[in-house]
Chain A
């Protein structure tokens, strides 16, 4: 097994805010086809947010912010199979009931990183595909860390769904979003005049850029390839082919094993 760090792709991160109009409820906001504002700054204090605020005549208006990231994983060696991974991002601050979860964003950045983040990417979060079970507030991640160094990092262990997305994409990539778990992912309306916020450092250089740390098996003999372990491969036949080739035999006893001729 080997490891590789994949930093977020340049200019392919940021947040999208959706502020509802009068008389729109929470469901209307989180199911909107587009957001209202894209933010691309490095230090964003409301990168992930669920909010209810009271405006004219005690009317309740809702807003929601989601953070999006695109990772170009093509630096993985050819034939590599990712077996584990961690998404890491530095936090800015937090408030309220603000568990966070990592989910698939199946259309953001033009699906392949070809486009910058747009307001239309707000609705591209595929909530059925959760990429991590780590939630702020759970036993495993009970604080949203804030800061620009190691102590400010927040780690999300990628689950099998996320790893499958990387392995099955071509070229290899991961498009994901951080959303509030309690209200956005769970679709429960925040209480009147309440706010839950997580800030994010969208660092563009250095050691603390949003990143994936991936563990992978290298392709090739002796390594697990697409779930086939070395013990399951017909290694003796491969040896035979090689021996015949070395001897200049006209007809090998075996011609192909696991795609190797």
Chain B
């Protein structure tokens, strides 16, 4: 079953679904990530300007992005339930534009940005191509970062980062990240 068809459960501390085949709980996002979401957001907003966020999740990073001094905030979200949550969240935020769809499918609706945070969950049709497409989404000197599931100076997206910030974390039990250090990738274009 594709991720966008999963029935998600939203709690104060997490988003998850239970796989009916295995009864395993798959957390999509959890609130222990707050420190690293803040670091991601602060990095891409450090020059202000127009910000692109691919994947809304619990809206943690979106809150931190809004706390910075920026011009606009574009969010791409593929899951219908999360999209609805994002719309509710954005009701009082005039500089937010939310696009429903897989980032690859909607890429032609996107511009170039001063900051970009890529944090998706589940299979996206052309995830392997993101490393080639990202440069078209960035303005000169634009700052990009992305979720990194590896606990080392490497990342599953295959994008060469300029540097990594190492952030101590205490993850709650989950299937997507279980290390005590998070390697936050940073790249300037």
Q: CB within 8 Å of B: which residues of A?
A: 17, 19, 21-23, 36-37, 45-46, 53-61, 63, 192-193
Contacts and interface: CB of A to CB of B under 8 A. Distances in A.
Contacts, number: 73
Interface of B: 3, 21-24, 26, 28, 118-124, 127-128, 130, 146-151, 155-157, 175-179
Given A22-B178, A54-B123, A59 B24 contact: no
A17 B21 CA distance: 11
Contacts of A61: 175-176
Contact of A54 (B23, B122, B148, B155): B122
Given A19-B175, A23-B149, A58 B127 contact: yes
A53 B149 CA distance: 14
A57 B22 contact: no
Contact of A58 (B21, B124, B177): B124
29 contacts: A17-B24, A21-B175, A21-B178, A22-B149, A22-B179, A23-B149, A37-B22, A37-B23, A37-B24, A46-B21, A53-B122, A54-B3, A54-B122, A55-B175, A55-B176, A56-B120, A56-B147, A56-B176, A57-B120, A57-B146, A57-B148, A57-B155, A58-B120, A58-B124, A58-B127, A58-B156, A59-B176, A61-B175, A192-B123
A194 B127 CA distance: 15
A36 B179 CA distance: 18
B175 to A, nearest CB: 6
B127 A54 contact: yes
B56 to A, nearest CB: 14
A17 B24 CA distance: 10
A70 B23 CA distance: 25
Given A19-B22, A46-B22, A55-B175, 18 more contacts: A21-B178, A22-B150, A22-B176, A22-B179, A23-B156, A36-B24, A37-B24, A55-B122, A55-B176, A56-B121, A56-B147, A56-B149, A57-B148, A57-B155, A58-B130, A58-B157, A59-B156, A59-B176
Nearest to A20: B175
B22 A60 contact: no
Nearest to A17: B22
Contacts of A21: 175, 178
Nearest to B154: A23
Contacts of B21: 45-46
Contacts of B176: 22, 55-56, 59, 61
A221 to B, nearest CB: 55
A147 B24 CA distance: 26
Contacts of B26: 55
A152 B23 CA distance: 26
Contacts of B23: 37
Nearest to B122: A54
A19 B19 CA distance: 12
Nearest to A53: B123
A57 B122 contact: no
A17 B118 CA distance: 31
A209 B120 CA distance: 44
